[in-house]
């Protein structure tokens, strides 16, 4: 699996607060637009109009109400109101603005499913819009922000990776690309961490073949993550336990060539020399192929 970063792209990171400020500025108009009915605190007239049925209000007024709810920290109510703009005034420009802002407000409320639904609707209806990159970024975040939740399996992380990749590849010059790259690396590393966790589980229970399959995946598919040195050490342990010395020695050689200063290599070296072996490429096996790639500079 190739990493999604590209040296040909100029990355510009945009903080979440700035993203909100930019969206509100673009969608809500200038300071002049914020005056009048709801500007400067409103007053009795504004309070009376806020009680009017939504069906009697124009799209801009509902949108401004939603902005006020968002500013007051009531993201759930804001999301509903932004959605009402689209429902009640589907052919207005405010409907487009309301849809992307409802996706943002739902995400602020940690309602990731509805945030994703709204963002995907935006991409379906307005694929060429200037906010399409932000919509795709919100889809990715709707998965990314759930990765650490208890009970979630690796499929959530895979969805995060796939959608972060879309941000990077489809919108390489957007304000969200650099952050997407950083989050991609974190998600990629976490996916490798889960493979390591399962591999250690099997190793502790002496299910060596199952453990090897997990560690091999890390070495072959996640070799650029921080978990590769340990994966190679665990391969040394597993292969020694099975009496497969060629594979154990080759795993140790790869570990020493790439991570000689790592404590994982020190441990692997002790285990190999303790059995009269040395870390060197030996035999013909899948690890020998990795060794050849390492020497050519094609592995890391």
DSSP state of 244: -
Domains of the chain: 20-111 (no CATH), 193-296 (1.25.40.10)
Q: What is the pLDDT of residues 84-125, one digit of tens each?
A: 999 999 989 999 999 999 999 999 999 999 999 999 999 999
Query: Residue 274 corresponds to which tokens in the numbers above?
Result: 């303790």
pLDDT of residue 152: 64
- Structure confidence at residue 187 (pLDDT): 95
DSSP states of 8-64: TS------HHHHHHHHHHHHH--HHHHSTTSGGG--HHHHHHHTS-GGGS-HHHHHH
Q: How confident is the model at residue 53 (pLDDT cuts 50, 70, 90)?
A: confident
Q: What whole-number distance in Å separates Cα of residue 240 and Cα of residue 150?
A: 35
Report angle CA 22, 49, 63 to the nearest 5 degrees: 20
Q: Is the dihedral of CA 110, 112, 114, 120 positive or negative?
A: positive
With bands split at pLDDT 50, 70 and 90, how would you rate the model's confidence at 56? confident
pLDDT digits (tens, 9 = 90+) for 154-180: 889 999 999 999 999 999 999 999 999
Cα–Cα distance for residue pair 201/65, rounded to 1 Å: 53
Average pLDDT over residues 6-18: 35
Tens of pLDDT, residues 224-272: 999 999 999 999 999 999 999 999 999 999 999 999 999 999 999 999 9
Indicate the DSSP class of residue 145: T
Residue 210 has a pLDDT of 98
pLDDT at 154: 84
Q: Which of 35-39, 167-171, 273-277 has the lowest mean pLDDT?
A: 35-39
> E strands, 64-104, where?
none
Q: Are 115 and 142 in contact (CB under 8 A)?
A: yes
Are 82 and 115 contacting, i.e. CB atoms less than 8 angstroms apart?
no
∠ CA 261-224-6, nearest 5°, is: 130
Whether the CB-CB separation of 49 and 61 falls below 8 Å is answered with yes
Residue 16 has pLDDT above 50, yes or no: no
d(CA 136, CA 116): 9
Q: What is the largest CA-CA distance in the chain?
A: 89
Q: So what's the pLDDT on residue 37?
A: 30
Say which residues have a Cβ less than 8 Å from residue 4's Cβ, sequence separation at least 6: 164, 165, 168, 169, 181, 184
pLDDT of residue 288: 95
In the chain, % of residues over pLDDT 70: 82
**Residue 107: what pLDDT?**
97
Distances (CA, A) of 197 to 62, 177, 189, 224: 49, 30, 12, 17
| Residues in contact with 126: Cβ distance below 8 Å, sequence separation at least 6, in sequence order | 96, 99, 132, 135
Tokens of 247: 């594979």
Q: 276 or 298, which is more confident?
A: 276
pTM: 0.74
The DSSP 8-state label assigned to residue 173 in this structure reads: T
Which tokens is 43 given? 């007053």
Output the pLDDT for position 228.
97
- pLDDT tens readout for residues 180-209: 999 999 999 999 999 999 999 999 999 999
pLDDT tens string 64-80: 999 999 999 999 999 99
- Distance CA(191)–CA(185), nearest Å, equals 10
User: Do 268 and 255 contact (CB within 8 A), yes or no?
Assistant: yes
And the tokens for 31?
A: 């300071």
Q: Average pLDDT for residues 15-32, to the nearest whole number?
A: 41
């Amino acid at each position: 699996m190739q990493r999604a970063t590209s040296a040909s792209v100029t990355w510009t990171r945009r903080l979440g607060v700035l993203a909100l400020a930019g969206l509100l500025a673009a969608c809500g108009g200038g300071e002049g637009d914020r005056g009048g009915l709801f500007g400067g605190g409103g007053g009795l007239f504004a309070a009376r109009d806020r009680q009017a049925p939504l069906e009697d209000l124009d799209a801009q007024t509902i949108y401004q109400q939603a902005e006020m709810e968002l500013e007051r920290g009531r993201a759930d109510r804001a999301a509903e109101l932004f959605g009402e703009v689209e429902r009640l005034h589907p052919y207005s420009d405010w409907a487009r603005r309301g849809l992307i802002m409802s996706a943002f407000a739902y995400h602020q409320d940690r309602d990731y499913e509805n945030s994703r639904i709204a963002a995907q609707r935006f991409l379906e209806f307005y694929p060429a819009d200037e906010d399409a990159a932000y919509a795709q970024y919100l889809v990715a975040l709707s998965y990314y922000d759930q990765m650490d939740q208890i009970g979630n399996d690796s499929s959530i992380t895979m969805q995060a990776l796939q959608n972060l990749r879309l941000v990077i590849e489809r919108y390489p010059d957007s304000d969200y690309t650099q952050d997407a790259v950083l989050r991609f690396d974190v998600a990629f590393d976490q996916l490798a961490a889960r493979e390591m966790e399962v591999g250690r589980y099997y190793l502790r229970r002496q299910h060596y073949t199952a453990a090897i399959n997990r560690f091999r995946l890390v070495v072959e598919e996640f070799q650029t993550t921080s978990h590769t040195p340990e994966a190679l050490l665990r391969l040394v342990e597993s292969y020694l336990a099975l009496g497969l010395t060629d594979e154990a020695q080759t795993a140790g050689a790869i570990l020493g060539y790439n991570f000689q200063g790592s404590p994982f290599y020190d441990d692997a070296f002790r285990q190999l020399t303790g059995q009269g072996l040395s870390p060197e490429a030996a035999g013909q096996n899948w690890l020998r192929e990795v060794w050849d790639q390492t020497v050519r500079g094609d592995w890391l």
